[in-house]
Structures are given as structure tokens and as C-alpha cells.
């Protein structure tokens, strides 16, 4: 029977940076710049103890920003929670990254899903529908009740002519809402037909091609009155590899802050750093975010421990104590950092993501204290805690056991 244990942490002073001349990532002596350990976007204000002032060179800091952080903040669900918890807003036009995602907004007064864009002048592009009642409707969006009918009709005519001349591209995905009507809209001067299935798209195309009188199409304004749009489905991209790299970067830089640069510059971390610094195009999947119900995916992280270095010497008898970060519900960010046997381990939780459990590297260096770091967006406090409990005394685990079968190697 698995056993649960409780650990008691005491508040500790924020650690002070112990820097060396070389960058902790590439060992170069190039110009240093201020590196934010947790991205600025995840904090309401600046925090002194969230920065490395003399430990990371400009090139490495820029590389992480460009190759990992930018992708995560543009395409993943993180920015939804940043808006909700950090910026305290749910408005579409407050999230500049929405232009990188596919967004669908439910307007109950029209009983339809609509494509939304993050363009101040065109949040709801004009869309030509074939609805569930087999009615053809052209929707435009305008704040003004009196609008240019000729302009709208010209775009409607363009849609119909493009379909009849096969001048369009098609996007189909079964991740679209089940009651999503096939339609055509324009983006970057390209007419795009979007539908759940190819059959629905073909049916829509054939109906429009057989249309003889364009004037018979009903025209409606879809400009919503509500200030905040809460009925959203957002298609996000997700890369476990990039997310684990991002969390590993945070863990490693906090380890540097706590233990000093000489500790993390040890050659034992070379494979770990090589994996994080490589810029390889990696695969991603699409996940849905349904507002009010969260991510439509059972789990976004891997269930077991991830060996980032790919060199951890782990026996079949190794039992990793895993800390229940899900219990820390009041924190935007929480991380446990500790050494188990010869392994430097970290468990990290951001927003509503499941915790990811990482083995940074094996090390022969001393690291006896268990460190807990939390950030609360509500209080805007970054706190450091520690305990000297002896992990080896745990005969089973802290929360659950991860055996060899649930150990993953992302770098291979």
C-alpha cells in the first residue's frame, strides 16, 4: 500500500546570485544581460529574486525567448490563463496572441458559432454560411446599424464567384464544434472554406455552385452587444517537448540562483544543457480550450518522470518521491527542487497544467535541502521555502511512485 507523507516548510530568504564570468548555459564570456527565470508575462510586477543579473549571456537568453517562450505564449493555452489570472480580463482584443490561434465564438442570439480574429477593425470577419436548416446566410460585422450595403454585397458576390471558380482553400477538422456550420470567409485576401468534414465542405460547395440568384441570400449583422465574449472554443497548439524545455529552463536557473553558478556549470549538466539549447523543429498537436470547461484533453504532460539529460542512471528499484503540487491551488506557479539519490529532481506546476516531473541530471555534488518556490498572482508574491527532511527515510513515496516504465526520454 502506498503511503502519503506531509512535509513542513519554513519561509527562507530569497537566495542571492553567486555568479561567475561564464554563462551558465554555454560557458562563454559574452555580454551578460538580465535573464528572467519565470517569464515576465507570468508575473504581475517585477521581482528581484526572479532575475539572474550576471549569469546568462545575451545569446542564450535570446535563444530561449525566441525558440521556446515565444512559441509557448503564441500558440499554447498559457496566454488564456495569463489574461484571466494576471491581467484579470477575458476580452478577446486584450490577447494579442489570438491572431496565432483558431478561435470560435458562440453567439446565442444567433444560435451559431462564428470565427473570430484579433483585429480591432475586423474581430468578426464576414462569413457565408450554410446553417443546420440548410439556409444560406451572409453574416457581416458592423457597429453601425446603417452600413454600406454595396460593400457587403460585393464581398458576398466575391465569395460566391470564388466558390464557383474553385478559387479557395479548404480547412477541415473534427475538432471544430459538432454543430459548426460550413462556411467561407476571407483572411489575408484568401477565401477559406472551413468545415468539420470534407463531406460537409463538398455539400456546402455544391449548394453555392447551384445558386442562381445571389440576391436571395439573407444578410445579417453579427456584431455582438456583449462586452466580454465568454462562450469560446479556441484551437491551441501544444508541444510537450517545448513545455518540458520551458519548465526545465526555469528549474535550472532557480537551481543556479540557489546553489551558485559553479554548481550548475559542472560537466554533469552538459547533456541537459545541450538538449535545452538545441533548436530542432518539433511536432505539435492541436488541443481545444472550451471556456468554462477547460482544456478538452485528459492530460497535457507525461504521466511519469522525464529524464531531460538522457543520462540519468536509474535502477529498477529507484523510487522517486513526488510532491502533490495540485494541493497548492492558490498559486500561479509552484516548484519543488530537490535531490533524490544522485538525481536532481524538479516538479513544476503552472496555472491549471498538470505538474511535470523532471530529472535535470545526475550529480555527485551535495544538495541536501528541499526547496519550494511559489508565486501567487492574487497577492503578487514570489516566496521561497525550504525543509531539511530526509527523503531517504520515505520507505514508499510522498504522493505516488514512478517506476522505470513511466520514465520518459524527451531527447531521444
pLDDT level of residue 224 (50, 70, 90 thresholds): low
pLDDT level of residue 36 (50, 70, 90 thresholds): very high
pLDDT level of residue 226 (50, 70, 90 thresholds): very low
Of the given ranges (37-51, 235-249, 294-308), which has the lowest mean pLDDT?
A: 294-308
In the chain, count of helices (H) and strands (E)?
A: 8, 21
User: Is the pLDDT confidence value at 409 over 60?
Assistant: no
Between 89 and 376, residue with greater pLDDT? 376
Supply the pLDDT for residue 4: 59
DSSP, collapsed to helix, strand or coil, labels residue 94 as helix
Supply the pLDDT for residue 107: 82
User: Is the pLDDT confidence value at 398 over 50?
Assistant: no
Chain Cα centroid distance, residue 58: 24
CA distances from 384 to 5, 13, 16, 161 (A): 21, 7, 12, 63
Output the nine-digit C-alpha cell for 190: 484568401
pLDDT level of residue 61 (50, 70, 90 thresholds): very high
Dihedral pair phi/psi, residue 326, rounded to 5°: -65, -20
User: Is the pLDDT confidence value at 388 over 90?
Assistant: no
Sign, Cα dihedral of 203, 220, 156, 99: negative
Supply the pLDDT for residue 392: 56
Is the CB of residue 188 less than 8 Å from the CB of residue 197?
no
* pLDDT per residue as tens digits for the range 154-211: 899 999 999 999 999 999 988 788 889 999 999 888 999 999 999 999 999 999 999 9
Mean local confidence (pLDDT), 354-359: 89
Mean local confidence (pLDDT), 314-329: 74
Supply the pLDDT for residue 298: 62
Share of the chain above pLDDT 70, in %: 79
Phi-psi region of 382 (alpha: psi -120 to 50; beta: other; left: phi over 0): beta
User: Is the pLDDT confidence value at 94 over 60?
Assistant: no
User: Is the pLDDT confidence value at 296 over 70?
Assistant: no
CA distance 34 to 270: 22
Supply the pLDDT for residue 233: 75
Supply the pLDDT for residue 306: 87
User: Is the pLDDT confidence value at 87 over 80?
Assistant: no
User: Is the pLDDT confidence value at 250 over 80?
Assistant: yes
Nearest one of 195, 204, 224 to 137, comparing CA atoms? 204
pLDDT level of residue 396 (50, 70, 90 thresholds): very low
Supply the pLDDT for residue 1: 41
CA distances from 134 to 111, 137, 294 (A): 14, 9, 32
User: Is the pLDDT confidence value at 97 over 80?
Assistant: no
CA distance 256 to 17: 8
Supply the pLDDT for residue 393: 53
CA distances from 24 to 33, 338, 352 (A): 12, 19, 30
- Which distant-in-sequence residues (6+ apart) come within 8 Å of 140 by Cβ? 126, 147, 152, 155, 219, 220, 221, 222
Tell me the pTM.
Answer: 0.76
Of the given ranges (46-60, 202-216, 310-324), which has the lowest mean pLDDT?
A: 310-324
pLDDT level of residue 412 (50, 70, 90 thresholds): very low
End-to-end CA distance of the chain: 34
CA distance 256 to 270: 14
Supply the pLDDT for residue 16: 93
Amino acid at each position: 500500500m502506498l503511503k502519503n507523507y506531509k512535509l513542513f516548510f519554513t519561509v527562507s530568504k530569497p537566495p542571492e546570485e553567486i555568479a561567475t564570468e561564464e554563462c551558465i548555459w554555454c560557458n562563454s564570456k559574452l555580454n551578460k544581460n538580465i535573464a528572467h527565470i519565470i517569464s515576465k508575462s507570468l508575473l504581475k510586477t517585477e521581482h528581484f529574486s526572479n532575475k539572474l543579473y550576471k549569469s546568462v549571456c545575451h545569446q542564450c537568453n535570446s535563444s530561449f525567448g525566441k525558440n521556446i517562450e515565444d512559441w509557448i505564449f503564441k500558440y499554447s493555452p498559457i496566454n488564456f490563463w495569463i489574461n484571466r489570472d494576471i491581467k484579470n480580463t477575458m476580452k478577446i482584443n486584450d490577447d494579442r496572441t489570438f491572431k496565432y490561434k483558431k478561435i470560435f465564438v458562440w453567439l446565442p442570439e444567433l444560435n451559431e458559432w462564428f470565427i473570430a480574429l484579433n483585429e480591432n477593425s475586423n474581430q468578426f470577419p464576414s462569413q457565408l454560411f450554410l446553417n443546420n436548416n440548410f439556409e444560406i446566410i451572409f453574416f457581416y460585422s458592423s457597429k453601425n446599424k446603417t452600413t454600406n450595403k454595396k460593400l457587403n454585397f460585393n464581398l458576398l458576390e466575391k465569395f460566391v464567384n470564388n466558390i464557383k471558380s474553385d478559387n479557395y482553400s479548404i480547412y477541415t477538422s473534427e475538432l471544430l464544434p459538432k454543430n459548426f456550420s460550413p462556411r467561407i470567409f476571407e483572411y489575408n485576401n484568401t477565401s477559406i472554406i472551413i468545415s468539420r468534414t470534407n463531406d460537409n465542405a463538398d455539400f456546402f460547395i455544391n449548394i453555392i455552385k447551384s445558386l442562381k440568384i445571389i440576391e436571395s441570400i439573407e444578410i445579417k449583422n453579427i456584431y455582438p452587444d456583449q462586452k466580454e465574449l465568454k462562450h469560446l472554443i479556441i484551437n491551441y497548439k501544444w508541444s510537450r517537448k517545448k513545455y518540458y524545455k520551458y519548465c526545465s529552463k526555469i528549474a535550472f536557473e532557480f537551481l543556479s540562483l540557489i546553489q551558485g553558478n559553479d554548481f550548475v556549470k559542472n560537466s554533469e549538466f552538459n547533456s541537459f544543457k545541450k538538449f535545452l539549447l538545441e533548436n530542432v523543429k518539433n511536432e505539435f498537436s492541436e488541443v481545444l480550450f472550451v471556456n468554462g470547461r477547460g482544456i478538452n484533453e485528459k492530460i497535457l504532460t507525461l504521466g511519469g518522470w522525464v529524464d531531460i539529460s538522457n543520462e540519468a542512471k536509474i535502477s529498477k528499484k529507484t523510487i522517486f518521491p513526488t510532491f502533490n503540487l495540485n494541493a497548492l491551488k492558490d498559486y500561479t506557479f509552484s516548484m519543488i527542487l530537490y535531490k533524490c539519490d544522485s538525481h536532481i529532481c524538479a516538479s513544476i506546476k503552472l496555472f491549471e497544467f498538470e505538474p511535470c516531473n523532471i530529472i535535470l541530471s545526475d550529480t555527485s555534488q551535495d544538495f541536501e535541502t528541499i526547496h519550494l518556490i511559489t508565486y501567487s498572482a492574487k497577492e503578487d508574491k514570489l516566496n521561497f521555502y525550504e525543509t531539511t527532511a530526509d527523503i531517504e527515510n520515505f520507505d514508499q513515496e510522498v504522493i505516488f511512485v514512478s517506476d522505470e516504465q513511466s520514465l520518459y526520454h524527451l531527447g531521444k
